[in-house]
Chains A and B, each alone.
Chain A
Amino acid sequence: NAGVTQTPKFRILKIGQSMTLQCTQDMNHNYMYWYRQDPGMGLKLIYYSVGAGITDKGEVPNGYNVSRSTTEDFPLRLELAAPSQTSVYFCASSSEGLGGTEAFFGQGTRLTVV
């Protein structure tokens, strides 16, 4: 059981470039999330999705876009990368199980914008 898989693990972008961070989960979870983690800071929610075809903004959505065409995949798109987007990005998923709804996280993507 792979859980939540993110690619790539590391990436360096130049200012103004674009890229897509990939996230896939094999747990059939309806809920998926993208967070960014800056040094010494808590995780900040960028976007989330409650099911295929449905997405919504989190706390810090500016500069990002998402899509959710399937239950499994939730890619995060960066258009016109800026140094302020240098961060570690985590994708997560969760279910609506009665036992709890903890989020399962991927290993993260470390992005540097230079």
Chain B
Amino acid sequence: GESVGLHLPTLSVQEGDNSIINCAYSNSASDYFIWYKQESGKGPQFIIDIRSNMDKRQGQRVTVLLNKTVKHLSLQIAATQPGDSAVYFCAERMASGTYKYIFGTGTRLKVLA
């Protein structure tokens, strides 16, 4: 089956800098995408989502960009803080009406003091 993948397994950034985490997806029919944050020993937490009819969505300090032409998703974190250190997953919802989510392997974000 098709799956979601990530370009970088680990990303290290200086505190205060902006972070960009990338994700490639392969199912052109997927209609909904989510970014999750997972801290050590915890379950994934929702960060931000975007529907396929949009190309950008902003939240508090986070922005998700969707490029359907190249099937690419990115998460931008502004002014990265130590509390942002975690593993970040992108997920796609298969456009089958079954509400199944397919997750990528995750990128570990390390914030350097």
Q: Could you tell me which A residues sit within 8 Å of B by CB distance?
A: 4, 31, 33, 35, 40-45, 48, 50, 56, 58-59, 90, 92, 94, 96, 100-108
Contact = CB atoms under 8 A, between A and B. Distances in A.
Contacts, number: 61
B65 interface: no
Contact of B103 (A31, A42, A94): A42
Interface in B66-113: 89, 91, 93, 98-106
A56 B98 contact: yes
Contacts of A58: 100
B5 to A, nearest CB: 8
The 9 closest A-B pairs by CB, nearest first: A105-B43, A43-B103, A42-B103, A42-B105, A102-B46, A31-B99, A105-B44, A100-B49, A107-B43
B61 interface: no
Contacts of B91: 43
Nearest to A9: B41
Contacts of B93: 101
27 contacts: A40-B105, A42-B4, A42-B89, A42-B104, A43-B89, A43-B101, A43-B103, A45-B100, A45-B102, A48-B98, A50-B98, A50-B99, A56-B98, A59-B1, A59-B102, A90-B43, A90-B44, A92-B43, A94-B99, A100-B49, A103-B34, A104-B46, A105-B45, A106-B43, A107-B42, A108-B42, A108-B43
